Structure 1
């Protein structure tokens, strides 16, 4: 008697989020580790916050934040572009996929927007303290 297979057997359906999200998180970890090894003063205080990978794994947008703030974004993007080959090689060695996505670098505007909102709220609380009723 043949074993009873449920629908979708053999597929990796046990994952709760899409493959592109799993790959994005793996890439984030690899790139963050590699940035620690790169000796470039422009990348000293850079944090990789998120990576969006397209479904075909052709492109990955690498979002970053830094202590330099928006003023240093252009220099950081240039530095990341200079080290793109090294980052791609590190990814290729560690994930052993048929292809690795091409990396594009952008500042994480969501993080910066949240920081601006937090600053505004903090300033408002300082000038208008809440009455304790």
Structure 2
């Protein structure tokens, strides 16, 4: 019997990421939210809760974005129940993914001080 490379939670998470990405894009357009995207979706093993990680083009407005998305979570869940073939759609919990911001900050520090990033040849 061949081994299963992907768990069901991974497949559900990937499908949720695609569907929620479309819903967030529409919410940004319709509700005037800061430009954002869904970076990842983590689903619990029992498929009861999905943590949706979002990034914003303007990090200073990330708190506003997450607050608004949390308010729209029930509506998103209702839309997902219509578009996905799941017995029960997981509860959506939105969180801000600051890894992109941290990466940009590290890159900025390396550009400001390029000599310390290069190894010394002896």
Instruction: Tell me the TM-score normalised to structure 1 length.
Output: 0.76
Taking the aligned partners of 2:6 and 2:109, their CA distance within structure 1 comes to: 35
Q: 1: distance between equivalents of 2:105 and 2:117? A: 19
Q: Deviations over 1:50-87 (max 9, x none)?
A: 01111101111110111110x21221111102211221
Question: After TM superposition, what 4+ stretches of structure 1 lie above 3 angstroms from structure 2?
Answer: 127-130
Structure 2: how far apart are the matches of 1:129 and 1:120?
A: 10
Please point out which of 92, 95, 99 is paired with 1:103. Answer: 92
Q: 1:26 aligns with which of 15, 19, 22?
A: 15
What count of residue pairs does the alignment treat as equivalent? 118
Q: Do the aligned partners of residues 20 and 37 (structure 1) sit closer, same or farther apart at CA in structure 2, a change above 3 Å counting? A: same
- Rounded Cα–Cα distance in structure 2 between residues aligned with 1:76 and 1:129: 35
Q: Where does structure 1 lack aligned partners over 5 or more consecutive residues?
A: 1-5, 7-12
CA offsets per residue over residues 6-36 of structure 1, 9 Å max, x none? 5xxxxxx664222111111111110111122
How far did residue 110 of structure 1 move?
A: 2.2
Q: Distance in 1 between matches of 2:85 and 2:25?
A: 21
Report SS of the residue matched to 2:92.
strand
- d(CA) in 2 for partners of 1:113 and 1:34? 26
Q: Which has the larger radius of gyration?
A: 1
Alignment of 1:1-133 (within 5 A): 15-38=4-27, 39-43=30-34, 45-69=35-59, 71-125=60-114
State how far apart, in whole Å, the 2-side matches of 1:115 and 1:18 are.
32
**TM-score (norm: length of structure 2):** 0.82
Distance 2:75 2:4 in 1: 30
